[in-house]
Structure 1
Amino acid sequence: MSDEEWERFLRESVEGAAGAPVEPSARAREVERRLRERSGQPEGWRTYSTARPRRRTGWYVTGLVAAVVLLVLGLFPQQVVGWFGGDDGGQEGAPLAAESQRPRGAPGAEPHLRPTLAEPFRGSPAARWADGAAGITVPPAKATGWMDAAGVERALRQSRDFLVAAGLDSRVLRGERPTKAIALLNPHQKDVQEYLRTSLSSTAPAAKTNPLLLFSRFRPEQARLVGDVVKTRGRLTYREGKRGAVEVTADVTFVYPVTPAGDRGRNAKVVRTIVRREVVMSWDDPAKVITEPGTASLVSYALDMTNGGCSAPTGYFVPPFGTADEQPADEAHQVDPYDRSKPIDTSNGVTGTGTGTGKDKGCSTATRS
């Protein structure tokens, strides 16, 4: 052995050679023995396992629930609204979605606030309703009876035009003749034409010839509208009627804020006259029914009103501005004029509801206005 090799041997004996096996300590041998005794593949005494990532199941579940809720709201908005108290679900003060079907219940309670000239719909569910014709929902048109889809669309549009002309025209509201509305009615329907002549010419019409059954009218010397807005909520539906006609049914509630005609003060009393009408119009096949283009025959019409007068018919709404008119009509029979979940009760003919003189046995007491 050379001197260089002998010197390297002595140095490695003291410092240790690179890569030489190292005897594990007693603690290391104990850990390794315990790992061998466990089931499965043993791990080295200086090895480690990568931590498993956590599954974020909470976020997945939340996202799935949110997606289902949005889907249900999109497909069944009215049903979901009905689950939470009538048809006024959603954030307070937010406009309501259009009414596409009959609601399940009455709107929820509103804060008990009196209407004012600046806010005539304050404290009323109508504050969240649409203005004028925008509150009357028109469904998509499909071919029905003798009409194709375009004909049904035209019939629906003209049916809404009749409601606008009869219940929203400012001149008609002031008591003038409803010329535009009459022009949309079949002139060959004798019983309806007789009703129109009698109702609009009489100063003391009978219940069955009361023009209020179809037209909204106030005496300009007795009441005036507050502002230019009338709130509405309702819808049109249609089906095939007799002899293949397209039968359109309108169910619409109108809310008219009015004040005494002679009171122009800042603290003038504001009363809301609430009118709900159900009108059925038949757009007949001219090959089977004598009619004129662009006109419909009336099948039926019914009225329910609050704060419109409970005494003998006058042909005009009579809001209860005086203290004598504010006596309850019938405490045993109370109704909610904003409840559109049930059809108008026509068992006793024309119905009139709300606070009034109580001289008409058909009047009930409104729970709110």
Structure 2
Amino acid sequence: MKAGGGDGGSSVSDEEWERFLRASLEGVPDAPEEPSARDRAAAARRPPERAADTAWRAYTPPRRRSRKGWYVAGFVASVALLAVAFAPGGVTGLFGDDARGADAAPLAPESVAPTAPPDAGPEAVRPTLAEPFKGSPAARWADGPAGITVPEARATGWMDRAEVARALRLSRDFLVASNLEPGVLRGERPAGAIALINPRQRDVQDYLAAAFRSPGEANDPVLLFSRFDPAQARLVGDVVKTRGRLTYAEGEKGAVRVTADVTFVYPIAPAGGGDAVVRTIVRREVVMSWDDPAKVITEPGTFSLVSYRADMTNAGCGPATGRLIPSFGGGGGGTASGPAVDPYDRSTSMDERMGAAGDEECGTATRS
């Protein structure tokens, strides 16, 4: 995508969007107390490199990149937010073909962190248009939203049980709207997801405005949203495989803090046709704070974005373009300076996966 590219098909222009943001950020006196800025950093570096299964070395492995973004913002007076509706259902009918991969016994939902990576499989096999998850652990994962485990709600912080259940549902809706909504995957503005973010967060709203106006390393929309360039790549079939879970606990000022840790697997083919199929894998950690409106200025039905991190495989290792850029030759561009990592290994924490704060590497994935 060219620098300064537009919204990829949204009916709202960047200029109109920025005017809306500027209008919504006008302060009002006597606002509730603003939380102070808080620094966040990863606690540990990556573990030693795990030996790769030789079966997965039958072809050039894809490049992977770890990236993180930290936004902890002040809050100012509230303003009415334009409601944007979206359906939290599965991804359907994106680009035509229906391809669900090889038959395999589905895994039980992920309710706790796994203790080991998934098996590599008995032999090296390549994905096809008919079976885009062939040879991948994701063949046993659930489809779309079904792969995101939502825990049982209980009264926490300022919320009762029903309010916590609603916060968890909306948190999953955000992940769906950010990473599974068909228009967003085709590069359109993720209006439904943005509507769930507290519009009073100046830092986040500034980031969003810059990310869709002129994406770059500091303002890259793929840090939060999965977006492809339809002129370069097309999704194979109507299924994105997912695995992960939500957890929650009481946060600052009695808020309910929800943490999402989810891996998304996208089967991709060249936009121009052909039978080459690759997979782009994105593991995301997003921390959302559902704040007490008596203590923090917020909009009903929105959360404050605390932090977000992404570990991406076969998504491009060159300069930021605002899109995930899969390589169909296996290289992915850029220089592989980081360690080899299994992108399906969810037993490794994101702190270990990402490394120390400020670290950004392009390494090699042991499989895709």
TM-score by length of 2: 0.69
Q: Which runs of 5+ in 2 are unaligned?
A: 1-102
Q: Does 1:337 align with 2:343?
A: yes
Question: Which residue does 1:296 correspond to in 2?
Answer: 303
1:248 paired to 2:255 = no
Task: Please state how far the C-alpha of 1:245 moved relative to its aligned partner.
Answer: 0.1
What is the percent sequence identity of the aligned residues?
A: 66
**Structure 1 runs of 4+ off > 6 angstroms?**
none
State the alpha-carbon separation in 1 of the partners of residues 234 and 117 from structure 2. Answer: 29
CA shift, 1:210, in A, is: 1.0
| Separation (CA, whole Å) in 2 of partners of 1:326 and 1:282 | 36
Q: Which protein has the bigger helix share? A: 1
Is the 2:234–2:269 contact (alpha carbons within 8 Å) kept by the matching residues of 1? yes
Residue number in structure 2 paired with 1:368: 367
1:188 is aligned with what amino acid? R
Give the structure 2 partner of residue 311 of structure 1: 318
Q: Is the 8 A contact 1:304 1:350 kept in 2?
A: no
Question: What TM-score does the superposition give when structure 1 sets the normalisation length?
Answer: 0.69
Residue 238 of structure 1 deviates from its aligned partner by 0.2
Q: Give the drift of 1:158.
A: 0.1
Separation (CA, whole Å) in 2 of partners of 1:340 and 1:311:
25
**Which residue of structure 1 aligns with residue 132 of structure 2?**
120
1:14-29 equivalences in 2 (<5 Å): none
Match of 1:274 in 2: 281
Counterpart residue number, 1:237: 247
**AA of the residue aligned to 1:96:** L
In structure 1, the residue matched to 2:42 is none
- Alignment partner of 2:213 out of 201, 206, 209: 201
Query: Residue 301 of structure 1 aligns to which amino acid in structure 2?
Result: Y
Tell me how far 1:109 sits from its aligned partner: 1.4
Please say if 1:220 is aligned against 2:230.
yes
Amino acid at match of 2:367: R
Structure 1 segments unaligned to the other structure (5+ residues): 1-91, 352-360
User: Could you tell me which residue of structure 2 aligns to residue 46 of structure 1?
Assistant: none
Q: CA deviation at 1:200?
A: 1.3
Contact 1:248–1:281 under 8 Å retained in 2: yes
- The structure whose Rg is larger is 1
Supply the AA of the counterpart residue of 1:339. Answer: D
Q: Cα RMSD (Å) of the superposition?
A: 1.7
Within 1, Cα distance between the matches of 2:331 and 2:149? Answer: 38
CA distance in structure 2 between the partners assigned to 1:94 and 1:197 by the alignment: 44
Contact 1:328 1:365 in 2 (8 A): no
Partner secondary structure for residue 209 of structure 1: coil
Structure-2 residue corresponding to 1:107 = 118
1:349 shift after superposition: 4.9
Q: Show the counterpart of 2:272.
A: 262
- Residue 292 of structure 1: how far off its partner (Å): 0.4
Alpha carbons 1:309, 1:319 under 8 Å: kept:
yes
Which one scores higher on RCO, CA 8 angstroms, separation ≥ 6?
2
Change (3 A) 1:238 1:364: same
* C-alpha separation in 2, matches of 1:271 and 1:183: 32
Residue 165 of structure 1 aligns with which residue? 177
User: Partners of 1:191 and 1:244 in 2: how far apart?
Assistant: 22
